[in-house]
Amino acid sequence: MKYMLLCYDDEVAWEKAGKASHAQAIDEAVGLTHEMHAKGQYLMAAPLQPVSTATSVRVRDGKRLVTNGPFAETAEVLGGFYLIDVADLQQAIEFASRHPGARVGGGGVEIRPVLEVPGLPEN
């Protein structure tokens, strides 16, 4: 089953933790990704640029509104994602709990099953 792991963190907390802590967390996340790849469970992953680079688009009453920044005002922001293919939710939870973003940086990892829609293009 495919799951999207959405990695949320607090950018201010990462700044306070320092560059060395951030680099260590990235190395750990890359190691976990290689482990999943070796098991045939890894599909895709990518960190995101800081939330200050975000652009939000909304259409209201037929009018497009484009704003700088994220959709919501919050301390936790979407920092990256993983698309994985594992046997069940328990395996997704196991991976998410080992990801440094679940314990460092004041964030967490949201796990969402992927809705398979027929007729979409293949990768």
Q: What is the mean pLDDT of residues 6-20?
A: 85
pLDDT tens per residue, range 53-65: 888 788 889 999 8
Q: Which two tokens stand for residue 22?
A: 């951030």
Q: Which two tokens stand for residue 89?
A: 């939710």
Q: What is the mean pLDDT of residues 18-30?
A: 90
pLDDT tens per residue, range 75-110: 678 888 999 999 999 999 999 999 888 887 677 899
The larger pLDDT score, comparing residue 26 to residue 11, is at 26
**Prediction pTM value:** 0.81
CB 66 within 8 A of CB 55: yes
Domains of the chain as residue ranges with CATH: 2-113 (3.30.70.1060)
Separation CA 106–CA 123 (nearest Å): 34
Contacts of residue 27, Cβ cutoff 8 Å, sequence gap at least 6:
none
Residues of the chain with pLDDT > 90, as a percent, come to 41
CB 109 within 8 A of CB 102: yes
